[in-house]
Amino acid sequence: MNGETINSPGSRKRQKFNVNLFNIKHLEDMKRIFFLQLIVCCLFTGCSSTKNFERSKSDVKLFVGSWTGTNRLEYDLTMWVQERFANGTYSIIFFNIDGNEVFQSVETGKWWIKDRHFYELRNGLNEPEIYSYVIVSRDSITFKSTRVEYEFTDQRITENYFDFHEIIEKL
């Protein structure tokens, strides 16, 4: 799998991969890279704190943990895995699949809850993304952007369970 780094102003650093999605070897390579990057992200963000941010104790515990989600536009699929830590930091690994091209990016930052809104402040930015949210269940939270027309649902990844092939089947 050959990777080409793409930098665009104001966006995350992305890695572009040309793959044949039906080739199992490439899927296994993607899986290994994905988990390695998730571990590295967790190590880097798990040590910082967010003492300056107000957080509602009632909902915070529900948001902490490992989450996954998908967003499909016409010919474009974005998948992510996010780890939210109790200290208010997070790491996300995104995979964007457009035809036979896969773009991968990593995002880290801080999160908090204030006035029944979820805030995410990506490292390097000054303004947080703000979402209203609905706790569907202990394992499902729906978010809706307060600034743009965008809605998604995060599903909790339960302990000892992450079926990468299930996500690929959604393609």
Quick check: 59 and 135 in contact, CB under 8 A? yes
Helix (H) or strand (E) holding 79: strand 76-84
> For the domain bounded by 13-157, which CATH number is listed?
2.40.128.360
- Domain edges within the chain: 13-157
Q: Give yes or no for residue 51 having a pLDDT over 50.
A: no
Q: Give yes or no for residue 16 having a pLDDT over 50.
A: yes
d(CA 25, CA 160) in angstroms, rounded, equals 23
What pTM was computed for the model?
A: 0.63
Quick check: 136 and 62 in contact, CB under 8 A? no
Residue 70 forms beta bridges with which residues? 79
pLDDT score of 158: 80
- For residue 11, give both structure tokens: 């966006």
